[in-house]
Chain A
Amino acid sequence: MKYIYFAGRNSKEILRDPLSLILAGVLPVVFIVLFSLISRNAPIEVFQPVNIVPGLTVFGFTFITMFLGMLIAKDKSSSFLTRLFISPLKPRDFILGYFIPVLPMAAIIAVSCLVTGLFVGIPLSVKLVYTFLSFIPFVLFSGFFGIFLGILCRETQVMAIGNIYIIASALLGGAWMDLEILGKTLKNITDFLPFSHAIEASRIVLSGRQENLWLHLGVVCLYALVFFVLAVFFFRRKMRSDNS
């Protein structure tokens, strides 16, 4: 249970940065309210609460990747990680210690977005719980991708890649626009990325539809698995390279 102390430290490091809370917690909520207000005047399908709430929740999760990547990159650049590499922590303790803070952050984002959804027209039902659960694969992917970025890149690189990643997820995920307007080529690209699948899976669950749910969830799970393997591989390699 040594990793619990390390995870506690990582949670505090991320959550005590007010910018983290504003960007990840508040921004998606503000956007949900904004797009819902617009949808009252312009009946655009993608702005309807049942579509916009899952879209912006997934958008909120993408900030987790950047915060986690930044934290790891910062730790790498100081003697702090060296101090911990000398401690009895094992590679799995490091992965768990860095991943665990993702869970409360993701829960805060998901709950705040879904509760806001109730105020903008989503009916209170058990579907909200299922929608919450449908976010899990993308949350896993976000955490492992953050560890992967942090261990491979320097702080400034994580910042740059993180920003591109967030913008790409918003544009190519279809959080607030119909992906059909991107054209055939870009639409094909989005099919190979996890964002639109994560959003679509949650939209299906929230609206009570059934079509292709497992296909969408499967793609996101595959991404989560691939980046879990990559995160573990590169973290172990980092520990070995410091030890060679």
Chain B
Amino acid sequence: MIRTRNLTKKFGALTAVDNLSLSIARGELFSLLGLNGAGKTTTIKMLSCLIRPSGGSARVMGKDLVKEARDIKQKINVSPQETAVAPNLTVRENLRMIAGVYGLTKDRIRFRVNEMIDVFSLQEVRDKKAKLLSGGMQRRLSIAMALITDPEILFMDEPTLGLDVLARRELWTIITKLKETTTILLTTHYMEEAEALSDKVAVMIKGKINASGTVKDLLETTNTQKLEDAFIRLNQKEA
């Protein structure tokens, strides 16, 4: 579904992503782990066609990341790190707007809006303006806006950042259900989240993939019991 070869992004003298090569299969949930500034968000920005790579190549759904960006954009969606909603629009209007922008038919829009409202338990606030919602509810809406278009690939940049424990667990349940139909690339700082959700994980350090595989693979490689310990060991080793 996603295959990169030596994908690189430089900002002046800084190499944010350095010769990244990875492969994500259809229906897989792949987590990118890393400290702040490791290159996770830059990787998502490149793979979602927001920024152009400085080098290397990538194919998303068999299409070239640079030359066929328009085709790719139609079939992917992103849940950005910050909540991204239109503040003066209601929950329903926000969902309808994004679905329309992606070209869904009117009937499909109506169906998907109601579906997202149900899935994300937004019934009570569906006619409330987004700016009046709590932070957690805004986050849910922001993620629902990423899912309403039925993307084949969903990029989730720290989706549970700022959510309370209950809201986080609810979102895990939704993500677990999504795995049946959608390929997901997720970045997170929460190791228990990656452990609970991921089919595969990769640890990024200074723009490079330091280790990748299943959680079990990483634990074996680092001779640890928990993903957090494995993550710390890999980072300490690199330091």
Which residues of A pack against B, CB within 8 Å?
Answer: 2, 4-6, 8-9, 12-13, 16-17, 78-80, 82-89, 242-244
One of B94-102, B111-119, B172-180, B206-214 contacting the partner: B94-102
- How many B residues face the partner with a CB closer than 8 A? 32
Q: Choose one: B49, B82, B88, B103; the contact of A79 (CB below 8 Å).
A: B82
Evaluate contact between A85 and B50: CB separation under 8 angstroms. Answer: yes
Q: B53-95, CB under 8 A of A: which get 1 and which 0?
A: 0000000000000000010011011101111111111000100
Q: Kindly count the residue-residue contacts between A and B in the assembled complex, taking CB atoms under 8 Å apart.
A: 76
Evaluate contact between A86 and B73: CB separation under 8 angstroms. Answer: yes
Write out the residue numbers on chain A whose beta carbons fall within 8 Å of the beta carbon of B50: 82, 85-86, 242-243
Q: B114-149, CB under 8 A of A: which get 1 and which 0?
A: 000000000000000100000000000000010000
Q: Choose one: B74, B83, B93; the contact of A9 (CB below 8 Å).
A: B93
Nearest-Cβ distance from residue B103 to partner chain A, whole angstroms: 6
Residue from the set A13, A17, A78, A83 with the largest chain B CB neighbour count within 10 Å: A83
Q: Choose one: A17, A80, A85, A243; the contact of B85 (CB below 8 Å).
A: A80
In the complex, A244→B51 CA distance in Å?
6
Closest to B85 in A: A80
Evaluate contact between A86 and B88: CB separation under 8 angstroms. Answer: no
Interface of chain A, main secondary structure: helix
Is B110 located at the chain interface by the 8 A CB criterion?
no
Closest to B80 in A: A79
Q: Choose one: B51, B74, B80, B87; the contact of A83 (CB below 8 Å).
A: B80
- A and B contact pairs by CB, cutoff 8 A, 9 listed: A5-B100, A13-B89, A16-B88, A79-B80, A80-B84, A82-B50, A85-B50, A88-B70, A88-B103
In the complex, A4→B93 CA distance in Å?
13
Nearest-Cβ distance from residue B64 to partner chain A, whole angstroms: 15
In the complex, A86→B87 CA distance in Å?
19
Known pairs A2-B101, A12-B88; A86 contacts B77 (CB<8 A): yes
Known pairs A9-B89, A17-B88, A242-B50; A84 contacts B101 (CB<8 A): yes
Write out the residue numbers on chain A whose beta carbons fall within 8 Å of the beta carbon of B160: none
Write out the residue numbers on chain A whose beta carbons fall within 8 Å of the beta carbon of B88: 12-13, 16-17
Write out the residue numbers on chain A whose beta carbons fall within 8 Å of the beta carbon of B182: none
Residues 196-225 of B at the A interface (beta carbon under 8 Å): none
Closest to A16 in B: B88
Evaluate contact between B84 and A78: CB separation under 8 angstroms. Answer: yes
Closest to B54 in A: A244
Known pairs A9-B93, A12-B88; A244 contacts B101 (CB<8 A): no
In the complex, A13→B77 CA distance in Å?
23
Nearest-Cβ distance from residue A74 to partner chain B, whole angstroms: 9
Nearest-Cβ distance from residue B88 to partner chain A, whole angstroms: 5
In the complex, A86→B78 CA distance in Å?
8
In the complex, A87→B88 CA distance in Å?
20
Nearest-Cβ distance from residue B159 to partner chain A, whole angstroms: 13
In the complex, A5→B100 CA distance in Å?
6
Evaluate contact between A88 and B101: CB separation under 8 angstroms. Answer: yes
Write out the residue numbers on chain B whose beta carbons fall within 8 Å of the beta carbon of A84: 101
